[in-house]
Amino acid sequence: MKIGCFVEKYSFHTREEATALDRFKRAAEAKGHLFEYIFKRDMDRIPEYDAVFIRATTDPMNTAYVVSRMADALGKVVIDDPHSIRVCSSKVVLDDLFRQNGIPSPKSLLFAGDFGEENLRHVFEYLGFPLVLKAPYTKFSSHVEKAHDGAEFRLIAARYLKNATPIVLQEYMPSGFDWRVGMLDNKILYLCKYYMPRGGWKVRSLVDGKNQWGRVVPILRKNAPKKLEELAVNVSKCVGDGLYGLDVKEIDGRFFCIEINDNPSFYADLEDGKDPDLYEKIIDRLTSGRPVKPGTYRLNEES
């Protein structure tokens, strides 16, 4: 079969990401498939491929969404499918999804810019300080900030509201690491611990004026705590049976879903560190002929 892998130049910026892409290519070729990178300039060639794998930022306003929607409309197997992108790309939508499905997650509120005294008192009493502000389009912990008091809250909120309304406010849950659970077909594909860098509170934090990443420690998927696995399966079933990366916090033996990402990142020897068969499994899914099926919260599609 012929697989088109949609990439952008930045998909090759780090050696680890480029190596992971090469491992996808080798896995496909080892199974007798053709695996070609396609760029923006090749979008007209999407009809030539049997399946499309997207390795670029998939927000609905980005080119990758157009690629996904085109491939889906043409009946190709596409990872990520447009439905999953629409659900996962906005933190406001995810917040809604978690509420509707009773998914354990940090206490949260939507904020549309009501800076009135009464509303703010309610927000601060409910979430406490520090509280976390998230722009809906956050990726890799960008546009996620902590406010320690009302003045700081007003400044950050006003900045985020310039580009999107509403934004998400969450209680702060301190932890040394986030679980990253890779899911495919509603099963665990890989498992990692994403640690916060020393002196930071997010997986990518500003420490001493520099953006720093924490360590990534791969864990054998078969060693996933039972409760973590149950949560991950439940959450992914809400979205669909595609490829997802869940961020989960563990606090005193309880698990809280922070977000579910479509298009999770792959860096050589990190996500695949303990479960190197993940490349083969994704290629098998792409060449299975089975389109990604929307989950329990099926959004209206073009009939």
| Identity of the amino acid at 53 | F
Give a three-class secondary structure readout of 70-113: HHHHCCCEEECCHHHHHHHCCHHHHHHHHHHHCCCCCCEEEECC
Q: In angstroms, give the least distance from the CB of 34 to another protein.
A: 23
Nearer to another protein, 163 or 211 (CB): 163
Q: In angstroms, give the least distance from the CB of 241 to another protein.
A: 18
3-state secondary structure of 56: coil
CA distances from 148 to 43, 95, 132 (A): 46, 22, 9
Nearer to another protein, 19 or 63 (CB): 63
Nearer to another protein, 97 or 248 (CB): 97
Nearer to another protein, 81 or 178 (CB): 81
Say how far apart CA 38 and CA 7 lie, in whole Å: 6
Token readout for 302 is 């073009």
Q: In angstroms, give the least distance from the CB of 89 to another protein.
A: 9
Q: In angstroms, give the least distance from the CB of 22 to another protein.
A: 24
Q: In angstroms, give the least distance from the CB of 100 to another protein.
A: 5
Nearer to another protein, 136 or 218 (CB): 136
Nearer to another protein, 18 or 43 (CB): 43
Q: In angstroms, give the least distance from the CB of 42 to another protein.
A: 9
**Site residues (vs another protein, CB under 8 A):** 39-41, 43-44, 59-63, 65-66, 69-70, 73, 82, 86, 90, 92-93, 96-97, 100, 110, 112, 136-137, 163-166, 297, 299-302
Which one-letter DSSP state was computed for residue 199?
T
Q: In angstroms, give the least distance from the CB of 188 to another protein.
A: 25
Nearer to another protein, 169 or 203 (CB): 169
Contacts of 16 (CB under 8 A, 6+ apart): 267, 268, 269, 270
Most distant CA atoms of the chain, gap in Å: 64
Which of 104, 152, 112, 154 shows the shortest CA–CA distance to 136?
Answer: 112
| Identity of the amino acid at 63 | T
Q: Which residues of 27-66 are buried (b: 16+ CB within 10 A; e: fewer)?
A: bbeeeebebeebeeeeeeebeebbbbbbbbbbbeebbbbb
Q: 226-239 and 91-101 are packed helices; what angle lies between their axes, rounded to 10 degrees?
A: 110
Q: In angstroms, give the least distance from the CB of 286 to another protein.
A: 23
Nearer to another protein, 162 or 210 (CB): 162
Contacts of 112 (CB under 8 A, 6+ apart): 161, 165, 166
